Amino acid sequence: MREIGKPHPRLPLAAPGEEDDPARFLAWLGEAIPLVEQLGIREMRRDGECLMWELDLSPSLNDKGTGFGGALTAQTTLLGWCWTTLWLRRRGLARDVVVAEASQRFLAPVTGDYRLECTPEEEGGPARLVDQLAEKGRGRILLRQRLWCGETLCLEARGNYAVLAERRVENGLQSGT
């Protein structure tokens, strides 16, 4: 059981040249963030720079029988966090990621199971993040999430995700570098 105020241990990085196993990452994520088990994520996959989730609607129903905006917002925010975390992990970096800013625009009701996709907002975003990490040890990336119910775009979200400076441990105390 998770303890308030105590960070969950990080998932060990995959061996060099290997990628994270999506099922293993989702299992760890469910331990690290207990809410994840209630989100209805059936599958996670990556296609180039796009990270996708397939989700069941039933855990996120509202009183009208469609998708609850708060649940959908939490999912888009978390998907962006996963995109950034997995992007870092593919580069051998285990770093803390936080959402700095997020916005959503609801376009149509979510009436069935759906797909969430997350991609960089700008083509050069990942390269800029590489440069920021090299220069300052921290950085930000703008991501866009889209929720599709069949062929209908139901929600567009945007998030600004911050990669925090690496922490070092001195005399048992953590400090930012």
Task: Say yes or no to pLDDT of 19 above 90.
Answer: no
What is the rounded distance in angstroms from the CA atom of residue 150 to the CA atom of residue 158?
21
Summarize the confidence of residues 9-25 as an average pLDDT.
90
What's phi and psi for 21, nearest 5 deg?
-75, 120
> Per residue in 116-156, pLDDT tens?
999 999 999 999 999 999 999 999 999 999 999 999 999 99
Query: Is residue 4, in this structure, part of any structural domain at all?
Result: no
The mean pLDDT value for 93-115 works out to 97
**Confidence at 16, pLDDT banded by 50, 70, 90:** confident
Note the pLDDT of residue 175: 44
* Residue-range definition of the domain harbouring residue 96: 22-176
Counted domains in the chain: 1
Residue 2 falls inside a structural domain:
no
Q: Which of 6-20, 63-77, 120-134 has the lowest mean pLDDT?
A: 6-20
Per-residue model confidence (pLDDT) at position 127: 97
Residue 11 lies in a domain: no
pLDDT (0 to 100) of residue 167: 75
pTM: 0.92
Q: Is residue 87 part of a domain?
A: yes
CATH number at residue 49: 3.10.129.10
Cα pseudo-dihedral 148, 150, 154, 155, rounded to 10: -10
Q: Is the dihedral of CA 28, 38, 55, 71 positive or negative?
A: negative
- Main-chain dihedrals φ then ψ at residue 152, nearest 5 degrees: -95, 125
Q: Residue 167 domain-assigned?
A: yes
Write down the mean pLDDT value for the chain.
93
What pLDDT shows up at residue 9? 93
pLDDT in tens, 157-174: 999 999 999 876 554 444
